């Protein structure tokens, strides 16, 4: 088949996944054209069958689609209404339009203008699919023409001990330091100060060798770190646009930290840390995007927490036990390469494009089975499993569960407001 992949530009996970999906489709024998603006994930040497077209905006791809040269297009959408120009364009094509497969990035079903032109919708984690149904007030089993294709993850590059040591010294860390890495976009929704506060507490209590590498925190948090509020154990690094250099930084660290305010629909920062064999400390976000509890198996590949106290205890355990870091890191490596195998997830995208009912049916059964475990996973947390280590652990857990219930209620109100704005023809979120 001839397929157009419309890939947003930038540095985020959607851009990375877009090009990996395009490459995967080409490897399956399709003729693929990837349309995107310039960025670090644009392949310099595309695989056979993949053509790269650099464009200024999405509209630049429309003439080629209108010519009828493509059988299908793969687009990436947030799921809520943003006045994307592709839908009026598809409407203008009438019955001559190609098959449209959407990657629903944020697990929302509120883009009313997209629905008539979306033949198949793929969520980027099973948790995100389950949450999308909940946000729409539907049972997951009632959704039609939907499935899940997790973002693909490659095995991490292998670095020598000398390369690792060189990178650590370049970042300002010693050979004996225990380095926790927190990286993400400088967006307030993607960060809290929990990682910084937990680092301060553990350094003060038991491990002066523990350090935190914070890559591109938002401006306010960066200023607080620079002012000395969190002591001298935190190194701030600007955003890294080179995938190869980013991989070297992940390899040079010992633990991956992730306590985003509104979670992740997938979470490449977690997944790539796991692929590199690093244990992960993350946070459950029942009111937001909670895919981290799908990627991280609490107590096996890292720790899931629901409070700052839990985050601190998890860091204390991993920061003082090298054998635990190795065991959990190895388990995480195996898990993520099984969950997000490049060939397997691209095969699901291929099935959606080619309307392969058998493959899609098998994946849908997996999704339904996994969804039954999500409510348990969301509260399988260190505050419960390691309650003997906490003073007042039940009170902490009850406090955070009450907070989560209130936030879920607020999120539902936000969703109703987004629906109303979309029906009025306005962007869902302003």
Predicted pLDDT of residue 411? 86
| 54 and 128 part of one domain | yes
| 207 and 82 part of one domain | no
Within a domain: 51: yes
Within a domain: 295: yes
| 124 and 213 part of one domain | no
Last residue of a domain, one of 317, 339, 361: 339
Within a domain: 56: yes
| 98 and 212 part of one domain | no
230-263 as b/e, with b when 16 or more CB fall inside 10 Å? Answer: beebbbeeeebeeeeebbbbbbbbbbbbbbbebb
Low pLDDT (below 70) residues in the chain: 430
As for how many domains the chain has, the answer is: 2
* pLDDT (tens digit per residue) in 146-174: 999 999 998 999 999 999 999 999 999 99
Does the pTM surpass 0.75? The reply is: yes
| 330 and 198 part of one domain | yes
Residue 137 burial by Cβ neighbours in a 10 Å radius (0-12, 13-18, 19+): exposed
Report the distance separating Cα 301 and Cα 332, nearest Å.
5
State both tokens at 301: 């590949």
Report the distance separating Cα 274 and Cα 407, nearest Å.
29
Predicted pLDDT of residue 207? 78
| 186 and 334 part of one domain | yes
| 177 and 206 part of one domain | yes
* pLDDT (tens digit per residue) in 353-365: 999 999 999 999 9
Predicted pLDDT of residue 430? 63
Question: In CATH, what number is assigned to the domain containing residue 264?
Answer: 3.40.50.2000
Predicted pLDDT of residue 180? 97
Within a domain: 10: yes
Last residue of a domain, one of 369, 386, 421: 369
Within a domain: 415: no
| 64 and 167 part of one domain | no
| 208 and 102 part of one domain | no
| 128 and 247 part of one domain | no
Within a domain: 396: no
List the domain range (segments joined by +) for residue 124. Answer: 2-152+341-369
Which residues make beta-bridge pairs with 281?
A: 257, 303
| 175 and 324 part of one domain | yes
Within a domain: 397: no
| 83 and 113 part of one domain | yes
Within a domain: 76: yes
């Amino acid at each position: 088949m001839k397929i157009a992949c419309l890939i947003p530009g930038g540095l985020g996970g959607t851009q990375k996944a877009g090009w990996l999906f395009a490459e995967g489709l080409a490897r399956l024998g399709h003729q693929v054209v990837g349309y995107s603006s310039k960025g670090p994930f644009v392949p310099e040497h595309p695989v056979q069958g993949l053509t790269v077209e650099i464009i200024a905006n999405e509209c630049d791809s429309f003439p080629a689609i209108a010519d009828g040269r493509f059988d299908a297009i793969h687009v990436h959408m947030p799921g809520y209404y943003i006045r994307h120009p592709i839908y009026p364009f598809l409407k203008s094509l009438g019955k001559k339009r190609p098959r449209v497969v959407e990657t629903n990035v944020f697990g929302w079903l509120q883009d009313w203008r997209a629905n008539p032109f979306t033949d198949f919708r793929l969520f980027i984690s099973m948790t995100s699919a389950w949450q999308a149904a909940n946000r729409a007030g539907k049972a997951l089993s009632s959704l039609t023409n939907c499935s899940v294709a997790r973002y693909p993850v490659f095995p991490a590059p292998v670095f020598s001990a000398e390369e690792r040591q060189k990178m650590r010294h370049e970042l300002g860390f010693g050979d004996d330091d225990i380095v926790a890495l927190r990286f993400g976009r400088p967006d307030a929704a993607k960060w809290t100060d929990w990682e910084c506060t937990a680092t301060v507490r553990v350094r003060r209590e038991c491990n002066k060798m523990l350090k935190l590498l914070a890559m591109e925190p938002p401006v306010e948090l960066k200023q607080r770190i620079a002012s000395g509020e969190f002591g001298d154990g935190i190194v701030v690094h600007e955003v890294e646009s080179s995938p190869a250099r980013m991989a070297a930084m992940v390899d040079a660290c010992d633990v991956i930290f992730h306590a985003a305010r509104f979670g992740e629909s997938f979470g490449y920062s977690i997944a790539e840390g796991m692929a590199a064999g690093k244990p992960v400390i993350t946070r459950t976000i029942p009111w937001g995007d909670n895919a981290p509890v799908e990627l991280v198996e609490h107590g096996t590949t890292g720790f899931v927490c629901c409070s700052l106290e839990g985050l601190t205890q998890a860091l204390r355990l991993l920061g003082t036990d090298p054998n635990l870091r190795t065991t959990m890191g190895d388990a995480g490596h195996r898990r993520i390469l099984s969950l997000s195998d490049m060939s397997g997830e691209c095969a699901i995208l291929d099935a959606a494009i080619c309307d392969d009912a058998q493959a899609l049916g098998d994946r849908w059964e997996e999704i339904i089975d996994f969804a039954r475990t999500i409510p348990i996973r969301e509260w399988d947390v260190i505050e419960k499993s390691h309650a003997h280590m906490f003073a007042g652990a039940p009170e902490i857990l009850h406090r955070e569960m009450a907070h989560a219930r209130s936030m879920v209620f607020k999120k539902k109100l936000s969703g109703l407001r987004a629906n109303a704005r979309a029906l009025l023809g306005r962007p869902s979120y302003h």
